[in-house]
Amino acid sequence: MADEADETFYDEEESEGGPVKPFLEHLEDLRWTLIKVFTSLAVAMLVCLVAGDHLVRFLTYPLQAASRFYTPPPGSLVTVHWGTNVLARLDRSTLGQWLPGWSTNVQALNVVPMHVNGQWVLALQPEAQSPVPEQDPFVLLKNYSPISAFMVAIKLALYGGLVLALPFMLYFIGQFVLPALKVHERRFVLRALGVGGFLFLLGMAFCYFVMLEVALGATVQFSAWLGFRADEWRAEDYITFVCMFMLVMGVSFELPIVLLALVKIGLLDYEKLRNFRPYWVVAELVICAFLTPSGDPFTMFLMAIPVHILYEISTLIAWWWARRERRLQATGAE
């Protein structure tokens, strides 16, 4: 009889949550949870700070990939230089408009002083070979202040440390929260964390390998269309743009977790998701317009496409859940 009573008490404890603790013990657990969370974040930030040069190479890879597709082919530009200083690069196809009658085999134009009619003027002298070594004319990242390098390092440590420490932070928070949940609630939370972590990494990977390359190239082309040169960017602004873009895409890929959690608790269902689809198209465009770091329409639409696909997948899963529930009810009625 004693064994049966103990077993019944264990089942009730598991179904209702963990053992009840005094308020002061909960505060002590919360204190240690916060200490472990901030310690893991500090260690991750220190690791990212030490590996700052590797992170810079990692974050500048999309820019290098974009330059391979958007950089003009070799020989299509004519360099205008003064000594070793590059003053401009002219498109060879439009060289005849600037300098009519000049030969098309001109590789460079050198600015030289010339004595004309008793006055010294600056003239362009054609050269068959440019003395200036070829450089990448796409985009150069530069620091324009003494503290810019330190600001870049701090942002790398902050963003990189947050991503690196996130699994450990969630683990420590779970140690504090999960004992108070029921068994089925724990299962749901653990599944949501697992799927949510996968979707977050998937969103960041999609942004890194697909969206960043297209967005960076489109930004440069859009600037050129407006008549502005975009061959030099501040390194701090670039790092902020890339990190924020990846984090925003990772968070936006959590949409199925939010929608399906609302379906589970009964606030949403398949019919509501289907009927809300036209309004969601407008809402996701507005949300992506605010969340897109660059703010250009092309990147906004590029970000809205996977978000809408995730909405459709969530609607499909909600339909499958509703169908399975109807089948179970029909089986139970029989």
Spatial separation of the C-alpha atoms in residues 35 and 15, rounded to whole Å = 30
pLDDT score of 5 more than 60:
no
The amino acid sitting at 40 is: S
Q: Mind listing the pLDDT tens digit for each residue in 187-221?
A: 888 888 888 889 999 999 999 998 888 888 878 77
Spatial separation of the C-alpha atoms in residues 233 and 73, rounded to whole Å = 22
Tell me the torsion sign for CA atoms 283, 287, 289, 292: negative
pLDDT in the model for residue 142: 84
Instruction: State the SS3 of 164-180.
Output: HHHHHHHHHHHHHHHHH
Spatial separation of the C-alpha atoms in residues 125 and 133, rounded to whole Å = 18
What lies within 8 Å, CB to CB, of 255 at 6+ separation is 307, 310, 311, 314
pLDDT score of 72 more than 70:
no
Which 3 state secondary structure label does DSSP give 140? strand
Q: Mind listing the pLDDT tens digit for each residue in 270-281?
A: 888 989 988 988
pTM (two decimals): 0.72
Mean of pLDDT values over 95-117: 69
Spatial separation of the C-alpha atoms in residues 141 and 67, rounded to whole Å = 13
φ, ψ for residue 194 (rounded to 5)? -65, -50
Q: Mind listing the pLDDT tens digit for each residue in 279-299?
A: 988 988 888 887 776 666 777
- pLDDT: which is higher, 89 or 261: 261
